[in-house]
């Protein structure tokens, strides 16, 4: 669905978000999105880590 957004699409989405939420709420939303993305990445790493630990233990 969002395969070919590009720069103009991102600008339009930012303008729409600015209109809907206002300039004071945009930093809060950005922080919340960033922390959610960070937690997701950490969870994905944790899911991959047990397999890597097993492989390293087998190599020793």
pTM above 0.75, yes or no: no
DSSP per position, the chain: --TT-HHHHHHHHHHHHHHHH-TTTHHHHHHHHHHHHHHHHHHHHHHHHHHHHHHHHHH-
Q: How far apart are CA 56 and CA 20, in angstroms?
A: 50
pLDDT tens-digit map of 3-56: 677 888 888 988 998 899 888 888 898 899 899 999 999 888 877 766 665 665
Rounded Cα–Cα distance for residues 30 and 28 (Å): 5
How do the domains of the chain map onto residue ranges? 20-59
Q: What is the pLDDT of residues 21-34, one digit of tens each?
A: 888 888 898 899 89
């Amino acid at each position: 669905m969002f395969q070919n957004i590009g720069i103009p699409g991102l600008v339009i989405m930012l303008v729409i978000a600015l209109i809907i939420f206002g300039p004071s709420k945009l930093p809060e939303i950005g922080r919340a999105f960033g922390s959610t993305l960070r937690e997701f990445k950490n969870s994905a790493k944790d899911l991959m880590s047990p397999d890597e630990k097993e492989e390293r233990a087998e190599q020793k």
